[in-house]
Amino acid sequence: MSKKALSILMATAGLLAAASSAQAADGTITITGEITAQTCNISGDGGGKDFTVTLPTVSTSALSVPGSTAGRKPFRIALSNCSPNSGNASVYFEPGTTVNAQTGQLFNSTGNAKNVEVGLLNKDGSNIKLGAAQAQQNSQTVPISGGAATLDYYAQYVATGGASTAGTVGTSVMYSVSYQ
């Protein structure tokens, strides 16, 4: 190898070494988390973890104006035999094909009534925004005491678009219990 080629190679190697040493760290990201063995038995409305809430029959006149609601029906998700027997629990209603992410309600996905969705509410009557991230969903958190907790909710018809038409309403939503 000629002296000229060796000089160019050495100069290039020196520049590369200087360039990489100019990239110093500006900060550190620390990541923490927790894995819990928290589990509870889940019972929805006195049944198993999969259950049905049957809304009452209502007149189309009760849902004639967009945004009007009718047929509010309470339901409950009970947790028992929780281990550990304390902490907090909440329910996250999962996004999916039955969830209208814009309204935060459930599409009438299997029924034939038109201009109607189903909304879910917390025990205090506040709306749950289905399809939102867990922190923005507004689903209540309750304490686990003595290895048990009860999460009370409501389901109701919600008029959308024009006046609702007569017909059936059917929908579903997946949920997960979160423990804190």
> Per-residue pLDDT for 172 more than 90?
yes
Sorting pLDDT into bands at 50, 70 and 90, what band is 10?
low
The count of domains in the chain is: 1
Does 107 map to a domain? yes
| CA-closest candidate to residue 176, choices 64, 42, 71, 54 | 42
Residues 92 and 178: beta-carbon distance below 8 Å: yes
Look up residue 143 and give its DSSP letter: E
> Per-residue pLDDT for 132 more than 90?
yes
The pLDDT of residue 45: 87
Domain of residue 67: give its range. 39-179
CATH classification of the domain holding 64: 2.60.40.1090
User: In which element (H, E) is residue 154 found?
Assistant: strand 149-159
Instruction: Kindly report the pTM of this predicted structure.
Output: 0.79
> Per-residue pLDDT for 74 more than 90?
yes
Residues 104 and 128: beta-carbon distance below 8 Å: yes
Picking from 66-70, 83-87, 91-95, 168-172, which range would have the lowest pLDDT averaged per residue?
83-87
Does 19 map to a domain? no
Report phi then psi at 94, rounded to 5: -70, 145
Does 97 map to a domain? yes
Does 5 map to a domain? no
Does 111 map to a domain? yes
Does 152 map to a domain? yes
Does 23 map to a domain? no
Which whole-number Å values give the CA distances from 79 to 31, 94, 104, 122, 128, in the listed order?
31, 19, 25, 16, 20
Does 24 map to a domain? no
